[in-house]
Amino acid sequence: MTKVAAEARERVFGIPKGQSRLPDAGDALGRFALAGATDGVSRTQRDAGRLYEAIVRDYQRHLGARRLMSGSELERVSGHDNSTGDSPQEIERYERAKGRYIRARRALLLSAEPTAQMVVDAVVLDDVEMWQNVGVLRIALNAIAHEFHDELGKGAQAA
């Protein structure tokens, strides 16, 4: 990381000098984690958010959905892999991705927090800092951590 990027994180996001070069300082979920479990989210909640992002991105990739590109990516052109999507392996990977996505969505719906889906999508997928909704974010990430506790590590519990 360059000195300029670290200084920008300090200036724009108010990150302390010692933390501005950490990987977590690079996105909204990471900055919530840097704030700690008292003011932000715990490490387990952060890990649940990272898993949720991987689940959603995997599902979108299998659907053929592409995420919106940022201005820095407009020059980049991606190729086509010539797959038709009908091989048994591809179908199995799609079904697995769909099943994990449905489990994640169900966990958020059952969290009894009406805005859980919106908040976790905004923070984790869209990189929006929603400090006013940190409580909802914690509930949403706890629901994901509970549903996927086997993937987050044996005995991991959301704080």
Q: What are the residues whose beta carbons fall under 8 Å from the beta carbon of 3, sequence distance 6 or more?
A: none
135 neighbors 39 (Cβ within 8 angstroms): no
The distance from CA 84 to its chain's CA centroid, rounded to whole angstroms, is 28
**Confidence (pLDDT) at 98:** 96
137 neighbors 126 (Cβ within 8 angstroms): no
Question: Is residue 133's pLDDT more than 60?
Answer: yes
Selection from 9, 61, 28, 57 nearest residue 137 by Cα: 28
Question: Is residue 72's pLDDT more than 70?
Answer: no
Range name among 64-73, 100-109, 122-131, 133-142 with the lowest pLDDT average: 64-73
Question: Is residue 9's pLDDT more than 80?
Answer: no
Selection from 53, 52, 25 nearest residue 40 by Cα: 25
| Tens digits of residue pLDDT in 24-43 | 777 889 888 888 888 889 99
